[in-house]
Chains A and B, each alone.
Chain A
Amino acid sequence: MNITLNGVSRQISSPPLTPLLRVLRNELNVVSAKAGCEAGGCGACTVLVDGRPQRSCLTAVGSLNGAAVTTLEGLGTSENLSAVQQAFVHHYAAQCGFCTPGMVVAATAYLDAGGSDDKEAIQEALGGHVCRCTGYLKIVNAIAAAATQSEFDLTITAEEPNVVVKTGGR
């Protein structure tokens, strides 16, 4: 069987009942989607299937023949960050970063579907995505900002920065 992964057609040889998460990580070596629980409870494994967010740990790969699967790697690169990605950096919405792939993917789907900066609607859309670090506020703020803004300032104003962050729009 075949899926289109981040725009590239990929042959799958895992058995059809293998969860997509394992296919991505173990067969295709695409590792942004994380195994936080492998039981549908945390959202860290979220990917887009034909544009809609789905928990890859609960998705049997056999149900996806011909589908388009998008992981975090397909949403933007460090040279060309999407608005959501920039917003997450600008608003410090990624702390340990383990929930971040699922959060960014789900947030992207929410905004692509016309989601607004309404914070309750954002919470609703991200319901079931667990973050143990941030307390969620920064994540919600980042997504709200990305609803109305496409470029974020990622420059450093400290005198002697030891980090260089590249910016870019999508």
Chain B
Amino acid sequence: MKAVGARLPRYDGVGHVTGQTQFVDDVRVREMLWAKALRSPHHHAAITRMDTSKAEAMPGVEAVITHADVPLLEYGHLSALGIPADEPLLAKDEVRYKGQPIALVAAEDADTARAGVEAIEIDYEERPTLFDVRKAFDDDAPTVHRWGNWYPHFEGEMDRRQIRKGNIEEAFEAADTIVSGVYRPAAIEHAPLETQVSMVVPEPDGRLTVYSCTQALYFSLGVMAAHLQVPLNRLKVVGGTVGGGFGGKVDTASETVTALAAMKANRPVKWRWTREEEFLASSTRAPWHMEIIDAVTSDGWILGRKMLTLHDSGAYARFSPYGLTKHSFHHTGAYTIPNLHFDGYVVFTNRVPTTAMRGFGVTSVSFATETHMSRIADVLGLDPFEVRLKNANRINDTSPNMITYPDPSTVDVVLSIAEATDHSLDDAYMSMSRAQRSGDMLPEHLAAQIGEGHEHASLHALVHGVDNDSEGN
């Protein structure tokens, strides 16, 4: 605890204010080529013909990379955890979002690379598009993904993330009131000041030195090695200086294709996205569609929750199954609801693939659940703090994914917000603590769930769910 209360300068502060911090774009090597990408101008189309010969013949163009150059075209960010892959590194016969990369041209300078991109001959046949997750399930909805319009590979080959807990029918029979709400936070572009960038340098010993803006160096290492089909020891990934990431630089966005160009040209290659490309083609936080229907009592207890979530994955799965799983585990927010019926779908659309952003999968559901708590109080004419404090997680309560909370802080947080906002509460509430439920705070419907869960969630559980997840229907 030596650092608590002490002034700690940023270790990189002086570098930042003097211009000495070296971002990827600042690394200087000799003989470097610049890369530019051919990206899909369509949201959804078949590629019916592509001819790169004119680009390849252009003076100054040193390498043109297409799907045919990729040793393993499809590899998912979660493949190592058993999630199947769906996204080609470069589009082959179909493009599913506007801005999807199709080819990369590396040339002596950026202008020549751009001219090379323009010299690629390509024909498309446009296909119908899908942008609204709510329409993905319609009979006449266009099919936007080879797996269909939603991810079908949750464990047990289920097509949704499903949670069933307690007895939802009984909860709704016992309810005094039903409170429902729909919540739809929009996509957000991370908009880092530093756009996606990487530079790959072929070394004389056959290795590649990879300078990357990645937030997730070991993801990049694994994903690159898989696509390139080289052992890990051929790759030296240099990272650590990120010009803003916020989750958007978790995806291995540029390194692998840049590496292929560097290998083909046998020269260093840099691929730095323009601001326009960053906005057009870099991943975003997902838009979500969440429907909550709660069975409540007139004195503010939540007996049960039915929830439907449509997670807009964009055109490919990437981390979305993981994000939705986390989301499902948190779908009661910081509160304990014993009877649950949750269905969540990772829905494919012709948007740019979505990814992590600050609390992946959880910020959306926090927004929905907190708004819904206030809505419940509103409908019942109760104090929103009291409704929260009643239902707040307590020691030994059990989460949706059957984890026993060892030390939840909801009560303390709600009380300190009440204090900070001068919100007066009855003594019964003011004196509440996180201690295990008893007395008035232990109504019948909450008794059975106490201490019923596992000790902790593992990463495996986060990706694959926990044992009791998929019971019922």
Contact = CB atoms under 8 A, between A and B. Distances in A.
A158 B14 contact: no
A36 B194 contact: yes
Interface in A93-144: 94, 96-101, 104, 130-133
A88 B8 contact: no
B244 interface: yes
A166 B14 contact: yes
A60 interface: no
Given A89-B13, A158-B7, 10 more contacts: A34-B25, A34-B194, A38-B274, A39-B275, A81-B17, A92-B13, A96-B193, A132-B192, A156-B6, A163-B8
Given A29-B28, A132-B246, A98 B192 contact: yes
Main secondary structure of the interface of A (DSSP, over half): loop
B272 interface: yes
A37 B192 CA distance: 11
A97 B21 CA distance: 8
Contacts of B12: 94, 97
Interface string A17-53: 0000000010001011011111101101000000000
Per CB-CB distance, the 5 closest pairs between chain A and chain B, nearest first, are: A32-B19, A97-B16, A98-B243, A94-B16, A37-B275
Contacts of A31: 19, 25-26, 28
Interface in A56-100: 71-73, 76-78, 81, 84-86, 88-90, 92, 94, 96-100
B15 interface: yes
B19 A89 contact: no
Interface string B189-207: 0111111000000000000
Contact of A132 (B7, B13, B191): B191
Contacts of A8: none
Contacts of B272: 35
Contacts of B245: 96
A90 to B, nearest CB: 8
- Interface size classification for chain A: 35 or more
B183 interface: no
Contacts, number: 125
Nearest to A85: B17
Contacts of B28: 29, 31
Contacts of A96: 192-194, 242-245
Interface of B: 2-3, 6-21, 23, 25-26, 28, 190-195, 242-246, 272, 274-275
Nearest to B8: A158
Nearest to B242: A96
Contacts of B26: 31
B85 to A, nearest CB: 31
B16 to A, nearest CB: 3
Contacts of A72: 17-19
B18 A73 contact: yes
Given A31-B19, A132-B246, A94 B10 contact: yes
A158 B13 contact: no
B31 to A, nearest CB: 13
A15 B25 CA distance: 22
A65 B203 CA distance: 40
Contacts of B194: 34, 36, 96, 98
A166 B212 CA distance: 29
